Structure 1
Amino acid sequence: MSEDNNYVIIGISGCTNSGKTTMTDRLLKLFPSASQMCQDTYFLEPGDERLEFVPEVNHSNWEKLSALDMDRMVRDVKQWIKDSKHSNSHQIPILFIEGFTIFNHSPLKDLCNKKYFFTMDFETCQERRSGRNYIPADPEGYFEKIVWPMYFSNKSELNHYKDIVYLNGCDPQEKTLKTILEDIYTLPALKKLHFIS
C-alpha cells in the first residue's frame, strides 16, 4: 500500500491472548480521534454451515479464516477509507484494525500501512487463555489440538511477507508501545506529529 495517503491504517495481529487488544486500547488513548475495528465482531454465528466442525473435540474450528466474514470486514474498512476522504477534520484519520488473522486475508492486509504481529509461547498463551471466557466455550483439548496448531499454521502463511513487524507478546508493554510508536511516526502522514513517550 502507498504511504502517501491522507489516512493511516494500522494492523495489529498475532497469537490469541498475546496482548493485541490491550495494545490497541493503549494506542487509542494516545490517538483519541482514531477509529477501531475488531476482527472478533466478524465471526460467523454458531451453527453456520460454513464453519468446520472437528469431531475430535466436538466443536467448530473458530481459528480458521473461514470462520469469519472477511468480505464484510473489508467492505467496512473501505467504507471507512471513503468516509475519511470526505472528512472535514484537520486531523489525519487513523484506523486501528485488530484481529488474529487479519494479515491472512490479502485484501485486508494490503489496506494496512503498518502491520504488527504479536507472538507468544505455549505456556503463557495457554495460561492466559484459560482465564478467558469464550462463547461458545472452549471444550477440553481445544487449545492443544486446535488453537495452538492453527496459530502456527496461520503464522506460517505470513512468512514470505517482509513488511510485518513481529513483537513478543511477553515483552513489557511500555517497550512494545515505544517500538510501535517509533515505527508509526515514520509514515509520511504522521511525521509532523510529536513523538509521544
Structure 2
Amino acid sequence: MKKIKLIGISGVSNGGKTSLSKKIVDRFPNSIVIRQDDFFREEDDPNHIWIVLSSGVKHQNWEHLNSVNWDKLKSQVDLTLKELAKRDEESFLIIEGHIIFNYKDFPFPYDSKIFITLPEDEAYRRRQVRTYVPADPDGFFAECIWPMYLKNKEEMSREGPDIVFLDGTKDPEEIYQSVLKVITGNKS
C-alpha cells in the first residue's frame, strides 16, 4: 500500500533547512518540497506586521506568522498531496520553513517534525553571507530575527515532545543521517 509521509523541517534562519530538504529529495526522488518562503506576502501587502528598528528604519517582520500567505500554502499542500496520492510509489512531502510549526491552523498532520538550531553567533555569520530581497537593514538580525526565533522556538516547544531538535553546527551529513532515521522509522 502506498504511503505519503508529511515531513516538517523548520528551525533557525540559515540553519540548513533547504540543503537538508534537497538531500532528502535526492535520496527519495518521488518526493516534493514546499518552501514556506515561496508563500511570503508581497512587500507592500497590508497584512504585514511592521517593526521600527532602533535606527528608525521601518521594516516588515518576516519572522512573524503574518508574513506568510498561509491560505495559499495550505492550498498548495492540498493540491500536492492529491497529486502524490495518484502515484504508486511511497513519497515524502516536505514542508520547509522557519515558522511552519507555529502556525496552528495547519490542517495536515506531520508524520515527522525536524527543528534545526544554531547558536546566535553562527546564525548571524551565516545570515551575513546571504542576499535577501528586501535586504536586511542594520540591526534587523539582533532586533527582529534572533528575538523572534527564540520566541517562536519557545512557543513551538510547548506544543509537545514530537519535535526532533538537531544541532545545525554538526556536520551536514551527520544531520542528514539522523533525519533519515527519523523519517524512515529506522531506529538503528
Q: Does the TM-score normalized on the shorter chain lie above 0.5?
A: yes
* Counterpart check, 1:24 vs 2:21: yes
- Distance verdict in 2 for CA 1:151–1:63, change over 3 Å: same
Measured after TM superposition, the shift of residue 172 of structure 1 is: 0.7
How far apart in 1 are the matches of 2:58 and 2:67? 16
Q: Deviations over 1:59-84 (max 9, x none)?
A: 11111011100121112112222222
Q: Secondary structure at the match of 1:62?
A: coil
How far apart in 1 are the matches of 2:107 and 2:181? 21
Corresponding pairs, count: 184
How far apart in 2 are the matches of 1:49 and 1:106? 22
If the length of structure 1 is used for normalisation, what is the TM-score?
0.87
Contact map agreement 1:7 1:94 (CA 8 A) in 2: yes
Q: Deviations over 1:154-175 (max 9, x none)?
A: 1111122211000011111111
Contact map agreement 1:74 1:107 (CA 8 A) in 2: no
Contact map agreement 2:2 2:88 (CA 8 A) in 1: no
Measured after TM superposition, the shift of residue 109 of structure 1 is: 7.4
If the length of structure 2 is used for normalisation, what is the TM-score?
0.91
Contact map agreement 2:50 2:61 (CA 8 A) in 1: yes
Amino acid in the other structure paired with 1:120: L
Within 5 Å, which residues of 2 pair with 1:112-131?
Answer: 112-131=110-129
Within 5 Å, which residues of 2 pair with 1:1-197?
Answer: 6-56=3-53, 57-85=57-85, 87=86, 89-108=87-106, 110-160=108-158, 161-186=160-185
Q: Secondary structure at the match of 2:135?
A: coil
Amino acid in the other structure paired with 1:140: D
Contact map agreement 1:102 1:109 (CA 8 A) in 2: no
Amino acid in the other structure paired with 2:135: A
How far apart in 2 are the matches of 1:140 and 1:185? 42
How far apart in 2 are the matches of 1:110 and 1:15? 22
Percent sequence identity over aligned pairs: 33
Unaligned runs of 5+ in 2: none
Runs of 4+ in 1 over 6 A off after TM superposition: none
How far apart in 1 are the matches of 2:144 and 2:107? 24
Task: Provide the alpha-carbon RMSD of the alignment.
Answer: 2.0
- Distance verdict in 2 for CA 1:186–1:139, change over 3 Å: same
- Distance verdict in 2 for CA 1:103–1:70, change over 3 Å: same
How far apart in 2 are the matches of 1:109 and 1:129? 31
